A and B are shown apart, each in its own frame.
Chain A
Amino acid sequence: MRLGNVIGHVTLSRQEASYRGGRFLLVQPWNAANYSGDDKPQASESTLVVYDQLGAGVGSIVGFTEGSEAAKPFPESTPVDAYCAAIVDKVFHQLPK
């Protein structure tokens, strides 16, 4: 799982039937600098579209999983490869001195 900032939503007009009831968030993944409080948007990481059932809003930090594990939380097989697993309340991070 990785953390990311929600920077927007994606609204679909036509979609996979198995996507019903889900929302799509535009997420900017964090890199090492973001964890220690630096919130400059990093150019290297590409913005992802993450499937969300928890109701994360723009500006919140979410924990999302990718790959085959992201397709697991569905009753039938669903083509999802980025799934929002958590809306983060607090990040405690400290580098060793």
Chain B
Amino acid sequence: MILARIDGVVVATVCHPSMQGRRTVICQPLNEAGAPEGAPVLALDAHGAGQHQRVLISTDGAAARAMVGDEHSPLRNTVVALLDAS
């Protein structure tokens, strides 16, 4: 899983049916020191992570498909945990 920070939200009305009505957040991966590292990725957020909240992202497509309940969903990244401020 990837440690990341929520830097924003993406709105897309025209999208794959498995994404409709769900929140797509922009996640900036962080390294062990907490500094941004690499290009941001988009993930599906079912836990209502706030802006600049640190989260864990799962990159398991099967879990994403199970979450949206659509075996033909092209999704991979999902927010699975919200980190406490450490």
A43, CB-defined interface residue at 8 Å: no
Task: Look across to chain A and name the residue whose beta carbon is closest to the beta carbon of B17.
Answer: A73
* B40 interface neighbour in A32, A73, A92, A94, Cβ under 8 Å: A32
| Interface segment out of the listed A11-19, A20-28, A62-70 | A62-70
Q: Which of B1-26 contact A (CB under 8 A)?
A: 5, 7-16, 19, 24, 26
Q: Are the C-beta atoms of B12 and A63 separated by less than 8 Å?
A: yes
A90, CB-defined interface residue at 8 Å: yes
Q: Are the C-beta atoms of A89 and B39 separated by less than 8 Å?
A: no
- Residues of A in contact (CB 8 Å), total 32
Take A1-B42, A35-B40, A93-B7 as given contacts and tell me if A65 and B12 are in contact as well, using a CB distance cutoff of 8 Å.
Answer: no
A48, CB-defined interface residue at 8 Å: no
* A65 interface neighbour in B10, B52, B71, B75, Cβ under 8 Å: B75
Q: Are the C-beta atoms of B11 and A90 separated by less than 8 Å?
A: yes
Task: Look across to chain B and name the residue whose beta carbon is closest to the beta carbon of A55.
Answer: B14
Take A86-B24, A87-B15, A88-B10 as given contacts and tell me if A69 and B61 are in contact as well, using a CB distance cutoff of 8 Å.
Answer: yes
Interface residues in chain B, defined as those with a beta carbon under 8 Å from any beta carbon in chain A: 5, 7-16, 19, 24, 26, 28, 36, 38-43, 51-52, 61, 64-65, 71-77
Interface residues in chain A, defined as those with a beta carbon under 8 Å from any beta carbon in chain B: 1-3, 29-32, 35, 54-55, 63, 65, 67-70, 72-74, 83, 85-96
